[in-house]
Structure formats: C-alpha cells, structure tokens
Structure 1
C-alpha cells in the first residue's frame, strides 16, 4: 500500500480515542463524556480497507465542530465587513455613525431604520432619499447609519461627496467612464453635502454625468444637502435644473427639522470646559 493509500486509510477509518472513551457491547468506540458512539458499522457486507466500521461524530465532536465553524464564519464576516467599510467610506469618522451610537436627537431617524430594515424592497423599487435641511441637523449621520447597517449585512455601499469625486475625475481623465461605472456598481451610493462642490461648467457636467449614470443604472441613491426643497424645485439655470430633476425623480425628500446638533455638541463642550476650570480654580 502506497503512502497516499495509507493516508486515505487513516482519514477514512481512524477514530482518535480519548482516555475516558470506552468500547460498548456492540464493539464500537463510545465517547466517555456524552455516551454516544464515535464509530458506526458499514451497511451489511460492505467494508473499507478491510474494516467493517467508519468514524462517526458523537455529540461532543459535533458541538465542537459547529462551534468552530460558527467562529470561522464570524471571522470571515468581520473581515468582509471591514473590507467593505475601508472601500465604502471616505472618512474614518463615518465608522461611528451607527444606530447603536445614535443620541436620539434626530426626529427623522425612524426613516433610516425603516430604509435599512426594508432594503430589499428599496433596492427593487429603486427608492432613495433626498435629505435636506439646515446645517448640523444630522443628515450625514442619518445616511451613515444606513450605510453601516447595510455593510454589516455584507451589502456594498459607497458614501462620498462630489468634491472628492471631482478631484478623482480630474486626476484620472482617461479613466473617467470607468470611475463613474464603479460608482454605479455599488448597490447603494450616498452623496454627502451635495451642492457644496464648485459650480464650474466642468464641475456641473461631471455632477450630471454621475447622477444620470446612477439614474440609468436603476440603483438607489441617497443624497444629503443644505439646499432647500424650493431651491431644488426651482433651479437658477438649465445646468442645475437637469441635475435637480434627476435627483427629485430618484429620491424621496426627507426634511430635517431638528436642532443644530453641532452647535449643541459645541455648547456642551464649552460647559464641560467651564466646569473643569471652576474645579481647578477652587483647588
């Protein structure tokens, strides 16, 4: 018998015995812990390499295997989620924009929860959000919560802004179409701070190309903007009109009415600083 055949034989027929294992009345090896057989007889008349039995998992072995397999799956899942977030976020701060970290100050957050929970329907119906309202009301955080929730389910999302997109397009002019195609391959694209990019003729043309390509790909788009719905519905010129028309056709407007969270955070920091200074002075 060759070395290869010997190896196959050991894998097929060997059953490692633990000190507490024992041989049952049926001649099979039993687990000393769960009292279940670790071997089983072949069906009558069959054998392998002259043996009439083969290994069988006892309950202990099965539980260990299932536990290890679950750990392996979880490890692979965490690695995939980390890869998606490295690829999909342009700002490390976005990693913290999650439902779990929400402070409850955004009245519209239930709509983010609904969108993430019903993602398959949102994708099938090509439904996006146009998040508009004053500065600091939580629009970007809202979008980031959706992005993180979907990526935790191993769904690829890109959250970026047109300032970065225009810089990338300017740096790779020859690969412009491929770059836009890559943006359109993401199941969900989130464009943050829309309207803050430069309004040059070239810039507006590229903005339209990205939005129109996304429109033709029939994949959802979420946009955050400080522009008002009035400004979006009544643009100043044709160049803006064709961009805004596409957005309003693709995205359902969500108005953010909450307080300026950034100002509230800054005020809280100022109060904590004053308290710290007062304690130091009293020492």
Structure 2
C-alpha cells in the first residue's frame, strides 16, 4: 500500500495516520534541530505493529528454547508426551507433583527435591516426566536420566569431573529407576559422586525407585548407605502405589489385538 493512501497532512502541516487518526510526525519542542522542525513518531497503528512483531519473535525464541531444552532433557521422545494435561489429576501424587511445579521458585530456593518410590509399573517415571515437561515450558533446564546411562557415558571419559559438573548445572536433575544399576564398587563410586556433587550445587534433585523406603532407610552396606543418606537429606519421599499401569496398558493392547485379529478372521470367512 502506498504511503499517500495511509497518511494525510493536517492543517498544522504534520502527517496523520488515516486509520487511527494519530500524528505520525511531531514538532521539535525548541523550534528546530539541525535545521529540521519536525521528526517522525509512532502512531497507534505503528505501536501495535511493533508490539505484535516483538511478541512474534519472543514467542519464536521461547518455542525454540523449549524445543532445544526438551531434546536435551529426554533420551526417548515418548517422554515428551508425559504431561499433566494427559494425566489423571485426581491422583493424589499427581496433584502433589503439580503443586511442586507451581511452587518451583520456593522449591528451588529451599533445595527441595522428591523421592518417588513404590512398586514396579505404578507410574513413578511418568510423574517425574510430567514435572520435567511442565518446568521445561517455563524455560527451566531439566535433565532426566538414569545411572546406567550415566555410568556408560562416563566410563570412557578421561575427565569424569566435567561430566558430573554438567549434571549438577541443570536447574533440576531427575534420576530415574535408582537401584537397577550395577552394584560394583566402581558404579557405586560414580553414583555417590553424582549425588554428592548435586547436593553441593544446592539445586533440587528428583529420584524415582522401585526400592521400598524401609530398605533405603535400613541399608547396611556402607557405600549404599552414604548414597541413600544424601538422597533422604534433600528429597521428600512420596509413595506411588496402585495397580501396575504397565500391566493395565499391556492388557488393553492384548484385548485390542484380539479384537482386530478376530475381526480379520471374520472378514476372511466372509470372502
């Protein structure tokens, strides 16, 4: 659109926006400046266009940051679907997890973490994943991993301290499935170093485990005792019980498969 179609000249000699009616020029307060008597100014339309442009680039930057942090956080893309929006929020533990996220600044300031413990398949990892995804949307850096992955990653490294410090740098670190890793002296040494460094960083830690809380608290093996004591020092235990969600999903898939296979058999008979 041509400029003459959007502006007009007022009786004072200034240009005005035909759409909003505001002046697009203004006189210098002291008469002139370097030989010029007037200068450009934004009308309401210009200001709105500028705000929309700034919002577009800010939203784009936010989406790119969240996408980048999410790809770093998870080892499996399916974990990106573990959200409060997809969860049963009537569940007491899920409700507490959401409150943890909503009070994140206080949790971070007071170095408060969580220990989600309970039987296999009850959704402990899912709860932790929901926390991770919600915080990622808020531009919080999160890393969700497990000690088997950490031990495999760290084994060939000459400088193991750099890797451990990197884990400590995330605003939230989530260690999934504590207790399934190897019990060798080397593995327990790495686990202790990661946990100890995380505590000294002053940043929150979330742990999920199938180990009973009683077993964690009564562990007699010295190397494990040192690890568990530090975890209980900063992580509030939360029991995640109920029926196994994995078994329920497997049963549902089996019934679905039976239905499809029986339907296909019926179609073959009709032919």
Normalised to the residue count of structure 2, the TM-score between the two structures is: 0.93
| Matching residue of 1:276 | 260
Q: Indicate the residue corresponding to 1:39 in structure 2.
A: 25
How far is 1:22 from its partner? 0.9
**Runs of at least 5 residues in structure 2 that lack an aligned partner in the other structure:** none
RMSD of aligned alpha carbons: 1.5
Maintained 8 Å contact 2:89/2:95? no
Name 1:21's counterpart in structure 2.
7
- In the TM superposition, what is the alpha-carbon distance from 1:104 to its structure 2 partner? 4.5
- The offset of 1:138, in angstroms, is 0.9
* Residue pairs, 1:113-262, within 5 angstroms: 113-172=98-157, 174-262=158-246
Distance 1:137 1:24, change over 3 A: same
Do 1:106 and 1:137's aligned partners in 2 also have CA atoms closer than 8 Å? no
Q: Deviations over 1:6-52 (max 9, x none)?
A: xxxxxxxxxx834132111111111111111111111122324x221
Deviation at 1:147, TM superposition (A): 1.0
Alignment check: 8 A CA contact 1:133 1:228 kept:
yes
Give the direction of change, closer, same or farther, for the CA distance of 1:20–1:205 in structure 2 (3 Å limit).
Answer: closer
Inter-partner Cα distance in structure 2 for 1:77 and 1:34: 32
Is 2:74 the partner of 1:89? yes
Paired residues in the alignment total 266
Q: For 1:183-234, what per-residue CA distance to the aligned partner results, in whole angstroms no more than 9, with x for missing partners? A: 1111111000111100001111111111111112221110000000011011
- Once the two structures are overlaid, the 10-residue window that deviates more, 125-134 or 229-238, is 229-238
**Greater alpha carbon shift after TM alignment, 16-25 vs 51-60:** 16-25
TM, length-normalised to structure 1 = 0.90
- Residue 57 of structure 1 and its aligned partner are, at CA, apart by 0.9
- The ranges of structure 1 where at least 4 consecutive aligned residues each deviate by more than 6 angstroms after the TM superposition are none
